Amino acid sequence: METCVCASFHLSPVLYRRLGRRTSVSTQSSSPRETVPGSWIARAATLIVLCLPLYGFEKVPPQSVEIIPHWNEGDRIELIVTRVRDKSLNGQSTRSGKTHTRFSLAVLHASPQGYLVGWTVGATTFDVPTPSESVLRQVVGLMQGIQIVLQIDSRGAITGVQNWKTLRSEMLKNLDGLLANPSNAQRGKADQALMENLRAQWDAMFSTRAQVEQVCTRDAQIYFKTLGRTYTRDQPYEYQGFLDNPLGGDPFPARAGITLKSFDDRSGQAVLHWNQSADREQTDRIMRSIVKDLAARRGKQVPDDRFMKTVALETHAEVEVDVETGWVTKLTETKSVNLGTRTQTDTTFMVGVVP
């Protein structure tokens, strides 16, 4: 409750008489029955109203936070990224993979127009037991030590990869070296076929600048996704998004939104929730086209519409951002894909560590 302290005053009119150089002050007494002048009542009422809190008359503006990068050349941060994949069939769940990768981020150049950020891939370790010389381990290691130079505008959006040509040649050279390794040449036909298939896929994946940038910025796109906007608490920023098609082909249009859930003034940490779900109508249309095409090529009957209705794709993420700098300090993203009785969930944990 607000408290107002006002100077007390008499309601009797005060008369000033000037006598030569002296001024005297006298007060005319009012009789007990004399009514109080209306003008004084109005003034008193005005003072009382001004001293009272204006409950219900003024709304507190909703909390808003602008999240953009404030980086200087030489700024660095380390990221520890953990990926977990869980699969289930008919309700029976299994964990098919868990890896840990360390990334290094360094601001190579900063200007009013934007930034160049070096995104360097570190070593990857596996929690799920795999042979020490497995093809999977070697393929994952192809990007180890490679620095991706991201072009980022002043508000934090990735606009391109400056060294995409160098990345393309390095990746293909590393893959060719892996194929030429004598130990790999002595492997079984299954491994050799896998490597040859990988080479063909990578040739296609790195054939154009757009494809190189898409492959090399997947993790960075997730990391920087929430930058560049002003968010108001519990008022979602909604937009049209896209989710990768697990069967290949066109991505699924998705309804997406990012919401500011909290902001701590003392720590400067903002927490945002990011959600995407595939558009039901568009998903049915794309899946029907894919299934019909597969059935025609294999000479099989097209499944009924009940199968289409079981297809669902969703992405949920919680992001913690240091508003003062624009660095993401913690991110948890979960992608779920449901195809009939099969479910696959990929969870990515990113934790930022200042070196």
Structure tokens at 158: 């990735």
The strand pairing partners of 263, in sequence order, are: 270
Q: For 62-117, what is the HEC assignment?
A: CCEEEECCCCCCCCEEEEEEEEEEEEEECCEEEEEEEEEEEEEEEEEEEECCEEEE
| pLDDT at position 179 over 50 | yes
Beta-bridge partner residues of 313: 337
pLDDT digits (tens, 9 = 90+) for 281-327: 877 777 777 777 766 776 666 555 565 566 788 999 999 999 999 99
Check whether 20 has a pLDDT greater than 50.
no
- Band of the pLDDT at 118, cuts 50, 70, 90? very high
For 198, half-sphere exposure in the C-beta direction (CA atoms, 13 angstrom radius) is 19
Highest mean pLDDT among 17-31, 75-89, 234-248: 75-89
Q: What pLDDT is recorded for position 178?
A: 73
What pLDDT does 147 receive? 95
CATH number at 64-353: 2.30.230
More confident residue, 328 or 173: 328
The domain ranges of the chain are 1-59, 64-353
Buried b (16+ CB within 10 A) or exposed e, 319-345: bbbbbebbbbbebebbbbbbeeeebbb
Lowest mean pLDDT among 114-123, 134-143, 318-327: 134-143
The 3 state secondary structure assigned to 210-253 is HHHHHHHCHHHHHHCCCCCEEEEECECEEEEEEECCCCCCCCEE
Side-chain half-sphere CA neighbours of 355 within 13 A:
12
Which residue blocks in the chain are alpha helix, DSSP H? 38-51, 135-140, 164-180, 182-185, 189-205, 209-216, 218-223, 280-298, 305-309
The residue type at 21: R
What is the pTM (predicted TM-score) of this model? Answer: 0.72
| pLDDT of res. 354 | 73
DSSP SS3 for 132: coil
16 vs 241: CA distance, rounded Å: 79
CA angle centred on 156, ends 154 and 160, rounded to 5°: 90
> Taking residues 76-93, what's their average pLDDT?
89
- Cα–Cα nearest to 144, from 171, 163, 169, 178: 171
